[in-house]
Amino acid sequence: MDGFAAVDFGFAREVLQRGIAALYLVAFVSTLNQFRPLLGEHGLLPAPALLDWVAQKPERRKLLHPTLFTRVRYTDRRLVALSGAGIAVAALLVAGVPQLGPPWVPMLAFLALWLGYMSVVSIGQTFYSFGWEMLLLEAGFLAAFLGSNDQPPPTVVIVLFWWLLFRLEFGAGMIKIRGGREWRDLTAMTFHHETQPMPGPLSRQAHLLPRWFHKLEVVGNHVAQLVVPFFLFAPILSLWIPDRDGWVPGPVEVVAWVGAVAAGIVIATQLWLVLTGNFAWLNGATIVLAFSAIGLPGIGAPASPPETSLPWTVSGMPLWWVVVTSAVGALFVVLSVPATRNLFARRQLMNASFNRWQLANAYGAFGTVTRRRVEIVVEGSDDEEGLQWREYEFRGKPGDVRRIPRQFAPYHLRLDWLMWFLPLGHSLDDWFSVFLVRLLEADAPTLRMLRVDPFHGERPRWVRAVSYRYRFATRAEHRVDGAVWVRTGRRVVLGPVGLR
């Protein structure tokens, strides 16, 4: 690092800009495919109804985060246009096209993604209430100030990315230590692989590993989230440590390697979670953010120190850009006060935003781990007496006991995730009742979100919801009939219901 310029972090900037843009591309594709049947004009929780309710009283606008749809009336066509524009801008950033221009070009591109996606998240209600939504928004805002290829990354913005990753990892670690006893007695991972919201193809194999390995997983998680994040800031010491020439690594190289190793540990733990689960783009975003701490001297750095020609050029950057990025740094110092307090609060908030723009947020996940997996299975019958029942199958959630879970992440199957939360509540959510009505109507957009419609587009006479206790089959059980899951404890929780 060289004052205002993070000269050794050119590679880190490439990964951050292109990686965050790729995640936005996935998010907008997910929105294009799922928003209309879930939240559109005829969705399960119609966004227009929410916007109409907000418009009735001016003070209600404060209940929503900023969205373009309070100024332009929502229609499904406009949602498609917004998603298409987001995909196009994100694709250009992944290709590195805006980065070839002056710094204000990628800045405007990322701010457009940030504002466009916030417009969606703000009206997404429960289907967009996941912590990685605000994580993507904050990362996209910061990426807007990384600059373009003809100048070094601003030091202040690179440090803000470390601060974001610190809040994400350390916040998650503190949530766990303060949360369920299973994180303190090292038994959490004994259950996690089996009971996580959406298992992946290797989740069963991970679950069947010995107990000592699961305890080692928990210990590794605590180290990666409670200890390692502090070392992400090590490279900042190079601003005050004099470098020295020669083949022996000096203090500057040492602190750079400390930050890189810390980032590598974070990346390694996240890759294990990618292999064993489906957490949308949460793990992918964490991996991308971790690259912000990889800035090894000589790798991705210019051959000569950045030019300073006062007053218009400072450390190879235009003066106006130094002022803008410094202002962003000052803004985050102010906005980060509530998040910092929250990290050390006795009642720590998880995935909370303290301002309308969803910046400097609090993060965390899995403060407790469920020990039993209960699945809601939706069935339909096309006979008048309701004697023969057939199951609807979802794309990601467990259903057919012989079906190996698929890998979907970083793509986000919102309906499947909400189905996991359903049996954890005290009552079935309102959207689920509407979902059952859509099945009775054989609504085509709703059916397209499912893997199998047992009635092939025809209307069933009845539908009902049945709960089962699911667990992974042991190796012996799997050898008998090829089952991946074993389900027991069948109980009808709703229905049968039909249309009048």
Determine the average pLDDT of the residues in 401-409.
97
Q: What percent of the chain has pLDDT over 90?
A: 85
pLDDT at 247: 46
Single-letter residue type at 481: D
Mean pLDDT of the chain: 93
Determine the average pLDDT of the residues in 42-65.
93
| Model confidence pLDDT, tens digit, residues 308-346 | 666 778 778 899 999 999 999 999 999 999 999 999 998
| Model confidence pLDDT, tens digit, residues 88-106 | 999 999 999 999 999 999 9
144-148, 300-304, 305-309, range with the lowest pLDDT: 300-304
pLDDT at 248: 45
Single-letter residue type at 472: F
Determine the average pLDDT of the residues in 299-314.
64
Determine the average pLDDT of the residues in 28-43.
98
What are the structure tokens assigned to 161, written together? 């990315």
| Model confidence pLDDT, tens digit, residues 225-253 | 999 999 999 999 877 776 655 544 567 78
- 209: buried, middle or exposed (CB in 10 Å: 19+, 13-18, 0-12)? middle
pLDDT at residue 143 greater than cutoff 90: yes
Long-range pairs of 320-328 with CB within 8 A, sequence gap ≥ 24 = 321/103, 321/147, 321/151, 321/154, 322/4, 322/154, 324/145, 325/4, 325/145, 325/147, 325/154, 325/156, 325/157, 326/4, 326/156, 328/142, 328/145, 328/156, 328/157, 328/160
Q: Which of 301-315, 413-427, 465-479 reaches the highest mean pLDDT?
A: 465-479
pLDDT at residue 384 greater than cutoff 80: yes
pLDDT at 346: 86
List, in order, residues 6 or more apart from 463 with CB less than 8 Å away: 378, 379, 380, 381, 436, 439, 440, 495, 496, 497, 498
List, in order, residues 6 or more apart from 245 with CB less than 8 Å away: none
